[in-house]
Amino acid sequence: MPPKRKNNETAMGDKQAAAKTAKTTAATAGKDTKEKKYKAKPSKADKVIKQQAKAAAVDLEAKASSKPAYRPTTITAVVAPKPTPPVVISPVKTFDPEKCYLWFKCYTGLEDDEDFDRELIGPAGITKLCEDIDVSLETVDMLVLAYHLEADTMPIFTKDEWAKGMKKLEIDSVERLKAKLPGLVEKLKDPAHFKEFYRYIFMFAKDSEQKCMPIDTACAMISTVMKGRPHEQRFVEYLGVKKPIKVINKDQWHNFLEFSDTVNEDLSNYDGVSSAWPVLLDEYVEWRNEESA
Task: Give phi and psi for 248, each to the nearest 5.
Answer: -120, 135
What's the CA dihedral at 261, 262, 266, 268 to 10 degrees?
Answer: 170
| Residue 157 neighbours by CB distance under 10 Å | 26
Q: What is the pLDDT of residue 208?
A: 86
Q: What is the pLDDT of residue 4?
A: 44
Res 1 pLDDT > 50: no
CA distance 22 to 31: 14
Greater confidence, 46 or 71?
46
Q: What is the pLDDT of residue 98?
A: 97
Q: What is the pLDDT of residue 85?
A: 66
Greater confidence, 15 or 122?
122
Q: What is the pLDDT of residue 227?
A: 97
Domain ranges of the chain: 93-189, 190-293
Instruction: Convert the pLDDT of each residue in 56-77 to its tens digit.
Output: 666 666 665 555 554 555 555 5
Res 37 pLDDT > 70: no
**In the chain, which ranges are E strands?**
213-214, 247-248
Among 235, 215, 134, smallest CA distance to 175 is for: 134
Instruction: Convert the pLDDT of each residue in 89-148 to its tens digit.
Output: 545 568 999 999 999 999 999 999 989 999 999 999 999 999 999 999 999 999 999 999
Q: What is the pLDDT of residue 48?
A: 60
Greater confidence, 118 or 27?
118
DSSP per position, 144-202 = HHHHHHT--STT-B-HHHHHHHHHHHT--SHHHHHHHHHHHHHGGGSHHHHHHHHHHHH
Q: So what's the architecture of 93-189 in CATH? A: Orthogonal Bundle (1.10)
Share of the chain above pLDDT 90, in %: 65
Q: What is the pLDDT of residue 72?
A: 54
Common-topology check for domains 93-189 and 190-293: yes
Pick the CATH number of 190-293 from 3.30.420.40, 2.20.70.10, 1.10.3720.10, 1.10.238.200: 1.10.238.200
